Amino acid sequence: MPRLLVFQHVAAEPLGTLDRLIRRRGHRIRFANFERQPDFEPNVDRYRGLVVLGGPMNVEDQARRPHLKTELRAIEHMLEQGKPVLGICLGAQLLAHVLGAPVRRHEAPEIGWYPLNTTQAGREDSVLSPLGESSPVFQWHRYSFEVPREATHLASTAGCEQQAFRYGENAYGFQFHLEMDQALIERWLRNPAYREELAELGGLDPARADVDAIRRHTHEHIAGMQSRADEVFNRFLDLVGRPQRRITLPSREWV
């Protein structure tokens, strides 16, 4: 039975709909919750794949959140072993950083629903192609990555060009949140810390920061996104357990 390692940073950002898909396949999940166990040191050799979830911290916070260095090393080792890796939001930024790409504060937050446009490579990708040419997805981020030099650019939005990439055959970074359901979105909208980010967006784009509008758009788009997300996630999970060739990455000290 394949074992999956999941890095979780805060209780508010769980696996969401991905959880039931993993369990339905019979995979065993080992959660590394760094909010509860900041000193946890995972042995990635024991696992067949890795999912790195989102969180309010950023790559540049390594000095005060040493677990981020632990995560970067773990991601690097998983890549070296040729194992599937999926990074979501912060997870995608950590994956990009491991691969040598900059991660920076974005000029404006993306919060709420945005049309995601796939590249030609994205439309042909074995995992991401169920999203089609354009699809509404849920976003909540203030930082963004550049697509790593050796990775394939898969998707963009009008305000953030770098939304998804694939490295090799089985490592993916998604800036957006396909794992959301209506209850989890509502949870974020009621979270005081997340409301502060929403207020920041309100000073830049009041229409985007309208909670009622986000709820209305969620009602319109959530079912369609979940259907497409299930197919995307299932295709990623198809990669788990397949033997892959080992690759060698240049060694780095994470700072």
Q: Tell me what pLDDT residue 245 has.
A: 47
In-domain check, residue 121: yes
Side chain identity at 31, as an amino acid letter? Answer: F
CATH value at residue 193 = 3.40.50.880
In-domain check, residue 247: no
| Residues of the chain where predicted confidence (pLDDT) is lower than 50 | 243-246
In-domain check, residue 254: no
In-domain check, residue 250: no
In-domain check, residue 248: no
Angle at 233 between CA 230 and CA 238, to 5 degrees: 120
Alpha-carbon distance of 75 to 44, in angstroms, equals: 9
Q: Tell me what pLDDT residue 205 has.
A: 67
In-domain check, residue 244: no
The 10s digit of each residue's pLDDT in 78-89 is 999 999 999 999
In-domain check, residue 20: yes
In-domain check, residue 197: yes
Give me 111's structure tokens: 């919060």
pTM above 0.85, yes or no: yes
Structural domain that includes position 15? 3-239
The total number of structural domains that make up the chain: 1
